Each structure stands twice: as C-alpha cells, then as structure tokens.
Structure 1
Amino acid sequence: MPDSPRTTIHAGATVPPEDAQTREPVLDVVDRVSEMCFGLFMALTFVGAVSSGTGGPDASRTMMHAALGCNLAWGMVDAVMFLIRTLANRGQRISLALAVRNANDQATAIGLIRDALPRATKSLVTDKELEAMRARLAAAPALPPRPRLNMADLIGAVHIFFIVVLATFPVALPFVLLDDVKLALLISRGLTLAMLFAAGWALGHYAGFGGWVTGAAMTALGVVMTIAIIALGG
C-alpha cells in the first residue's frame, strides 16, 4: 500500500496552498510494486489456505474463485484506504499551512515548518530558507476550508484496485487451464515467485540497489511465505 509523505513542504520550496487541495496524487514505482506484491501475497496465502480443505472435481474452480474473490475484496479495501489516507494527509497539510499563517510571530511559524520536515532534513535547512517558505505561505491565496477528494484521487484509487486484482490472474490461471490441482498449485506458486522477482527487479532499479539483488530478495521472501503456507497445511 502506498505511504504518503508526511508533508509537502520540502527544503527550499513549498507547495502553494491551492495545490494542497488539488495536487494530483501520483503512484510511483514503489507504490505500484508494493500494490502488486500485496496482491500476489494475498492470493498466494489465500490459495494455500483454501487448498488444504479443498478436494473433488471442482477443486480447481473453487481455488480460482477463492483467489479472484480474495483480491477483488482486498483491492476494493486498499483503494478505499488510499482515498482515506489521501484525505487525511491533505487535511494535515492544510492545518499546517493555517497554523503557519496564523502564528503569533515569525519564529513560531518557522518552528512549525521545521517540525513538519522529515527528521533527516531538519538539520539541512536553515532558518533563512524556512523563512522563505513562511513568506510564500503568507502571500499565497486563501486556503480551502476543508480537504476534498478530486478526480485524480479517484483515478489513483482505481489504479490501485486494478493493480491488486490483476496480480491475481497469473496465480489463478493454472487452475483454469489444468484439472490437476497439485500441478496447478505448483505452477501457480512458480509464477508467483517469477512475478515477485520481476517486482523486486523493478524496485531495485528504481532505488539504485541493483535489480538482481532486490529481485532475489523478493523471491526469497516469496519462498519463505510459500514454505510457511505449506507448513501450515496449504
């Protein structure tokens, strides 16, 4: 699930108050990979749990429906939580901007901005730079009275829903094509590990760690999850 930054105020710049309300939330590589991995792990875990108590000629279909149904539900939940997080973070930014503009003196306003910065950034920013931020907030147009969601937020939530749900299909596909539940389960887990490696590869390149290292690490995490599921009867 994507984690929003603590504040939109950064060293040397600040988001204009009107952008605190209308700025489009962006799902970056980390967000997309996290959502995909979430969907994969949910499907992997749920299919493993269902397989321990499923048998008979309709076992493959039951497990396919279980995987798809699980991720449809959790895709919806994750999308709704994204909207809630977006609204809460936007409200926090508006509250911070109002507090800075209504501060009794310049020193108090600068202190509020400094407190909102990430801990690692606080020591890198001087009071002179923070004063420039305060001045921009003071000169900006009126702030919105309350946080609101916009169309970009809804589009972001839809993207999250489809990322989580679409991650299920490679996991469920073997159960559609094969009648042998054990073979379908083995192939499903293999496809899941391959997708986890691809996700780790993308994440590693984005973070500068190297694709092979993070790909292998993500795959190892999937192996551990699979072993745990099997040990628990999946």
Structure 2
Amino acid sequence: MSATDLTDQQSVGDREPVLDVVDRVCELCFGLFMALTFVGAVSAVGAGADAPRKMFFTALGCNLAWGLADAVMYLVRTLVARGRRVTLAHAVRSEPDAAAGVQTLRDAMAEWLKPLIGDTELESIRRRVAARSDVPRRAVFVRDDFVGAAGIFLLVVCATFPVALPFLLIANVATALIVSRVLTVAMLFGSGIALGHYAGFGGWQAGLAMAALGILLTIAIIALGG
C-alpha cells in the first residue's frame, strides 16, 4: 500500500477498483489455462457416446468453479486490504509524536515509492489522516463488495465460455477439441496484448508471448495424454 491510499480515496473503507487490468487479465488467463487442462484431462479418459456433452460440462464446470473461487478470493483480498488501511489509519491517529506518525506511513509505503515522497509530504498526509473523524473501527464488507464479486464471477465465466462452447456445437470430439484450443490461444493472445499495452510494452509482442505460452501448455497437455 502506498501512503497516498489513505487520502486519495473518499474513505479508508472504500474498496479498490474491481476491474484492475493486471488482476482481471491474469485471472482470465488462469481460467483459460485451467479450462484447457481440464478439457485435456477429460479427453485423455477416452471418447464415448456422450463425450462431447461430458467435455462441454467439464469445461463449463471448470469455468464456474474458477469464477466462484476468483470471486471469493476477491472478497478476501478486499477485506484484508481494507483492514490494513484501517489499521494504518488508527496507528497514525493514535501516535502522539508527529515524527513517529510519519515513519509509520513511510514503513507502509511500497519500496519504489519511498524515494519519491519526502517527510514534508508525509507530514501533510499524517495531519489529514489524524484530522479525520470517519475512520471505521474495523474493516467490514459493504454491498458494493458483493456486487464486485458477482461481476468478477460473471466476467470469468463469460470470458472463458468460448472454450466450452465448441463441444456443444460440434459433434466430433477431435474437431471440437482443436477449435477449443485454437480459441483458447486466440484469447490468450488478446490478453497478452491488453497486458502489453497496460505495461507499456509492445502489444503484439506480449500477445505473441502469451499465445506461445498457451501453445506450449497445450503441447504439454497433449504429451501427457490430453
């Protein structure tokens, strides 16, 4: 947490943005990798009369499970981060010595930010935090947290649903598996582009790197019997 987190938000209890680019894209990639792995595992069991249906529900179930886990972990992360902010705010407010309060803020800052913010700026932040009367006693969930968790669940499920869809639309398991893997690699390519643009790298290079990672994982799954 940076020192400015306590003053940039409307309240120390506010939740962080749900759709952080890095978190959302990485979680989407994890979901795609999981779906790819589960589909490969089911295909290794052997094809049967109900193989397409079985693989569709396996891939869809994987997406649902990952979306649920992602949503729950978002709630955990939100509560922990909010608790950290509340604890820091109370520590600053209860510290009678201004210099000690400034040091408390500095200790909570990210390492890369410490050389950029001097004690004068931190003292200003300390005074603003100490003057606040709306600091909650402890971190609790608010309604928007559950709305955000539901949004993450839907995002992950909807974004990875194309991995499962070929098994519902294509009767031939081998063909459906190829289409599913191609869609997965294409979505990984798009995710890599998004991460590349966000990080300031070349979008195409990052997209190709992420797609290559997906292809390598696919080859590994096939080599293991998937």
TM-score by length of 2: 0.94
Uncovered stretches (5+) of structure 1, i.e. residues with no partner: 1-6
Partner of 2:183: 191
Partner of 2:196: 204
CA distance in 2, matches of 1:171, 1:142: 47
| More displaced 10-residue stretch of structure 1: 28-37 or 198-207 | 28-37
Checking the alignment, whether the CA contact within 8 Å between 2:15 and 2:78 is kept in structure 1 is no
In the alignment, which of 142, 152, 162 is matched to residue 154 of structure 2?
Answer: 162
Q: Which amino acid aligns with 2:3?
A: I
Partner of 2:115: 123
Structure 2 CA distance for partners of 1:49 and 1:178, relative to 1, 3 Å: same
Structure 2 CA distance for partners of 1:18 and 1:144, relative to 1, 3 Å: farther
Percent identity reads: 57
Structure 2 CA distance for partners of 1:17 and 1:184, relative to 1, 3 Å: closer
Partner of 1:226: 218
In the alignment, which of 21, 30, 35 is matched to residue 27 of structure 2?
Answer: 35
Deviation per CA, 1:16-54, whole angstroms, max 9, x where unpaired?
A: 786111345331222321222122111111101111003
CA distance in 2, matches of 1:142, 1:180: 61
TM-score by length of 1: 0.91
What RMSD in Å do the two structures reach over aligned CA positions?
Answer: 1.7
Superposed, which structure 2 residues align to 1:102-113 within 5 Å?
A: 102-113=94-105
CA distance in 2, matches of 1:188, 1:117: 44
Q: Does 1:139 align with 2:101?
A: no
CA distance in 2, matches of 1:137, 1:161: 35
Shift of 1:99: 0.6
Checking the alignment, whether the CA contact within 8 Å between 1:37 and 1:196 is kept in structure 2 is yes
Structure 2 CA distance for partners of 1:62 and 1:198, relative to 1, 3 Å: same
CA distance in 1, matches of 2:129, 2:176: 59
Checking the alignment, whether the CA contact within 8 Å between 2:93 and 2:129 is kept in structure 1 is yes
